[in-house]
């Protein structure tokens, strides 16, 4: 079934002067001739984004937007009109956020976190009312599960995140890295599921798996110069800002690498084994 507002892999059923056609039992969709690859033929499969155009007809494009229906993205306002704010999302047809879906009036040139969705006429639009788009975490979400999170907003406790584009979560302040920005996506792990159903996430996998991740991160940081100016006397803040891990995990990981003969320990830092001073 063809999904409006999403990237679909579809087979060409016919080609004429208007372009290439795709169809299922409900829709017949045109990829305009200007976008049809010269070698395309009926039966070929293309990855196309499908949306409703200004005439109310379903059309396809080979261009892929920065987000599709069901996804969140941080997008910039390119224009504001009587209909609402229009966002640059990578397509010629810009993405509308109606005034009713703006908790605060959007301003041209500013960036906002929105969710892409369909209105009651199956047109692709966006909403900045993030809270109403989030669901309660499912019962099968478990401690230490790996998830994708989207940085939503900064708070006194840390940063609010959206887990897997579905659920609210919180990353505590002591794990917030310099340079983190709204709309940034990164990998995290479920740290705690509270009695009220709220979810805390961490950037560090716990237990033995977390130490393995830390060892890999240290080796990666050592590669460019063969040296890392971190040691037992380095502050927890310095270690976290450089490697994104606690001092406790850092010491365990370095100890393991030393026992394996992969690093040498010096007063001023860690050196890859075999590197000259």
Host domain of residue 211: 207-272
Q: Is the pLDDT of residue 82 over 90?
A: yes
User: How much is the pLDDT for 207?
Assistant: 55
Q: For the chain, how big is the Rg over CA atoms in Å? A: 24
- Paired sense of beta strands 167-172 and 199-202, if any: parallel
Of 61, 82, 106, the residue that ends a domain is 61
pLDDT in tens, 186-207: 999 998 888 777 899 988 776 5
Whether residues 264 and 232 fall in one domain: yes
User: How much is the pLDDT for 234?
Assistant: 87
- Residue 210 confidence class, pLDDT cut points 50, 70, 90: low
Answer whether residue 67 is part of any domain: no
Q: Is the pLDDT of residue 274 over 80?
A: no
Tokens at residue 257, please? Answer: 């690498």
Please state, in angstroms and rounded to a whole number, the distance separating the CA atoms of residues 233 and 215.
Answer: 19
The three-class DSSP label of residue 109 is: coil
Whether residues 218 and 244 fall in one domain: yes
Whether residues 110 and 162 fall in one domain: no
Q: Output the average pLDDT for the chain.
A: 89
Q: Taking residues 239-266, report their average pLDDT.
A: 83
Whether residues 47 and 90 fall in one domain: no
DSSP structure class, residue 181: -
Full-prediction pTM beyond 0.85? no
Whether residues 220 and 263 fall in one domain: yes
**Percent of the chain residues topping a pLDDT of 90:** 58
DSSP structure class, residue 219: H
């Amino acid at each position: 079934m063809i999904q409006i507002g999403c990237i679909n892999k579809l087979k060409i059923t016919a080609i004429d002067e208007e372009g290439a056609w795709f169809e299922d039992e409900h829709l017949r969709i045109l990829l305009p001739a200007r976008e049809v690859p010269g070698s395309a033929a009926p039966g070929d499969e293309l990855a196309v984004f499908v949306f409703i155009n200004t005439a109310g007809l379903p059309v396809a494009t080979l261009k892929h937007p920065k987000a599709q229906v069901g996804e969140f993205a941080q997008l910039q306002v390119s224009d504001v009109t009587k209909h609402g704010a229009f966002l640059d999302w990578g397509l010629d047809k810009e993405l509308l956020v109606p005034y009713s879906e703006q908790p605060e009036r959007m301003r041209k040139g500013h960036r906002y976190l929105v969710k892409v969705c369909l209105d009651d006429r199956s047109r692709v639009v966006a909403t900045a009312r993030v809270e109403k788009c989030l669901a309660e975490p499912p019962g099968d979400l478990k401690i230490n599960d790996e998830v994708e999170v989207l940085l939503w907003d900064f708070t006194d406790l840390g940063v609010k995140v959206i887990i897997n584009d579905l659920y609210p979560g919180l990353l505590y302040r002591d794990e917030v890295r310099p340079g983190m920005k709204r709309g940034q996506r990164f990998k995290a792990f479920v740290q705690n599921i509270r009695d009220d159903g709220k979810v805390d996430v961490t950037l560090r996998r716990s237990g033995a798996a977390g130490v393995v991740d830390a060892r890999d991160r240290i080796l990666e940081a050592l590669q460019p110069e063969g040296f890392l100016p971190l040691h037992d006397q380095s502050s927890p803040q310095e270690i976290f800002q450089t490697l994104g891990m606690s001092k406790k995990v850092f010491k365990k990981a370095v100890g393991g690498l030393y026992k394996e003969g992969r690093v040498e320990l010096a007063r001023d830092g860690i050196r890859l084994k075999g590197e000259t001073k």
